[in-house]
A = this chain, B = another copy of it.
Amino acid sequence: MRVLESVLYAEDLVAARDFYTKVLELEEMIFDPERDLFLRCEGSVLIIFKASKTVIADSGVPAHGTVGAGHLAFAASESEIESWRERLATHNLPIIDEIYWKNGAHSIYFKDTAGNILEFATPSLWGMK
């Protein structure tokens, strides 16, 4: 079964948009600063919903919403992790943690503009390519 939509929440969607489209270079699909930001990923969509809204309750679909720091990981090769390390540094975004896993996988952690904990991890972490 494939995940088609992953979700994080942020209060300031303008800041989130800058971060996800300019720093992480994800493609913007839909953007409403008072509502949601849809970002195209490989085979799925990452949605950033405005945290303080009973989100999308007015669009006829069930309301949802969370408070607190969420988590999401992107797949990255070792060389891509090094590229991201440099790119995050360029944007003065600190790597808040780095783990070399027992199985040989490698992760770096950083925060988005809303405090969500993001990760770049080699897919070998989960025995994937």
Interface bits A65-81 vs B (CB < 8 Å: 1, else 0) = 11111111111100000
Report yes or no: A7 in contact with B70, Cβ–Cβ below 8 A. Answer: yes
Quick one: copies of this chain in the complex? 2
CB distance from A105 to the nearest CB of B (A): 10
A-B contact pairs, 28 of them (CB 8 A): A1-B41, A1-B75, A2-B75, A3-B6, A3-B41, A3-B42, A3-B46, A3-B72, A4-B75, A4-B121, A5-B73, A5-B119, A6-B72, A7-B70, A7-B72, A29-B126, A43-B128, A44-B44, A45-B126, A49-B71, A62-B96, A63-B117, A64-B68, A64-B69, A64-B117, A66-B66, A67-B67, A67-B68
